[in-house]
């Protein structure tokens, strides 16, 4: 029974816990929802509810005076907000992701999700945001159960074919420009790269490596001749022996040639004559 409840937790089959609150940290029914909203006591993700006020809040693409707004102005307004929030929240720790909803439903419009690398960083940011205001409006911040934004975002919106529009119950995440993303999140990649290099290449490590390379270069022999040709292996071995002063291996003398039978008889007769003369 316990395994079955654990397998359906946070899904549509779960009749106790709200699946939308578990996936996106917000529910259209709010406190009137018939299912439980299990609010986390600690999380690396914070939800800043309804924080982003888009310039076309009433009608998309039109300002409050009924005048059309250039889409580039809307994007510039959003990226200014995004950079402002990122710079402020990055004071508390490394930001893994910062997502702003483009939905129009009341429970999701302008929601800002910031996920830190560590939970204690999110806790410090939450404490610092209490009682603060942004653009004349109070900041409503709380821990969010969302840790995997792949489950929270609308896949149809990413493919530009969501038929529910801004009132979809899944996140329609606003996208920032490539240059701004590189500017904000690139600092962490540079920091990690420099930190990894400093760990692997300490001054002592570099000094020892230089000594090893120097000794290896000193012992290396270049066997090229004057014409730039490399000799064969036998010549290289001879050059190496001459460089290091090793003695050349002496060849054994050739064995004497065998005498024929006539020569041996003549030598024996000579020995006999010499012996008789001595007697």
- The span from the CA of 55 to the CA of 51, in Å, is 13
Per-residue model confidence as pLDDT tens for the chain (279 residues): 556 545 555 566 677 888 888 888 899 888 899 888 889 999 999 999 999 998 887 777 888 788 888 999 999 999 999 999 999 999 999 999 999 999 989 999 999 999 999 999 999 999 999 999 999 999 999 999 998 898 899 999 988 899 998 899 899 999 999 999 999 998 777 656 555 554 544 444 555 555 555 555 554 545 455 555 555 555 555 555 555 555 555 555 555 555 566 777 777 777 777 777 766
Provide CB contacts within 8 A for 92, sequence distance 6+: 116, 121, 122, 124, 125, 128
How many angstroms separate the first and last alpha carbons of the chain? 127
Task: Give φ, ψ of 82 to 5 degrees.
Answer: -60, -45
E strand or H helix at 113, and its extent? Answer: strand 112-116
Backbone angles phi and psi of 258, in degrees to 5: -70, 140
Give tens-digit pLDDT for 129-146. Answer: 999 999 999 999 999 999
Residue 240: count other Cβ atoms within 10 Å of its Cβ. Answer: 12
pLDDT 10s digits, 53-84: 988 877 778 887 888 889 999 999 999 999 99
Distance of alpha carbon 151 from alpha carbon 149, whole angstroms: 5
Task: Give the DSSP per-residue string, 8-69.
Answer: TTTSTT-SSB-HHHHHHS--TTGGG-SSB----SS-SEEEETT----TTSSBTTB-TTS-B-
CATH fold for domain 1-190: Alpha-Beta Plaits (3.30.70)
Number of helices (H), then strands (E), belonging to the chain: the values are 10, 6
What residues pair up with 101 in beta bridges, in sequence order?
173
**Pairs from 27-30 (Cβ < 8 Å, separation ≥ 24):** 27/107, 28/105, 28/106, 28/107, 28/169, 30/107
Q: Are 18 and 36 in contact (CB under 8 A)?
A: yes
């Amino acid at each position: 029974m316990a395994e079955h409840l654990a397998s359906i937790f946070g899904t549509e089959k779960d009749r106790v816990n709200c699946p939308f609150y578990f996936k996106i940290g917000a529910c259209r029914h709010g406190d009137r929802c018939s299912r439980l909203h299990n609010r986390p006591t600690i999380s690396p993700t914070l939800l800043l509810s309804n924080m982003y006020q888009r310039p076309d809040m009433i009608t998309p693409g039109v300002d409050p005076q009924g005048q059309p707004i250039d889409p580039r102005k809307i994007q510039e307004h959003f990226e200014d907000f995004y950079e402002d929030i990122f710079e402020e929240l990055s004071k508390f720790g490394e930001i893994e992701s910062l997502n702003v909803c483009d939905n129009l439903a009341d429970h999701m419009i302008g929601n800002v999700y910031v996920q830190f690398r560590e939970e204690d960083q999110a806790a410090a940011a939450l404490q610092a945001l209490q009682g603060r205001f942004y653009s004349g409006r109070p900041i409503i911040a709380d821990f969010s159960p969302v840790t995997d934004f792949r489950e929270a975002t609308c896949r149809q919106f990413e493919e530009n074919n969501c038929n529910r529009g801004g009132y979809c119950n899944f996140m329609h995440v606003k996208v920032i420009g490539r240059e701004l993303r590189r500017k904000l999140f690139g600092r962490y990649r540079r920091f990690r790269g420099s930190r990894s290099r400093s760990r692997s290449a300490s001054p002592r490590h570099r000094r020892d490596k230089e000594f090893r390379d120097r000794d290896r270069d000193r012992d290396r022999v270049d066997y090229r001749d004057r014409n730039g040709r490399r000799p064969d292996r036998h010549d290289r071995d001879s050059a190496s022996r001459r460089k290091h002063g090793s003695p050349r291996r002496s060849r054994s003398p050739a064995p004497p040639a065998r005498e024929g039978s006539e020569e041996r008889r003549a030598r024996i007769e000579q020995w006999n004559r010499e012996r008789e003369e001595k007697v």
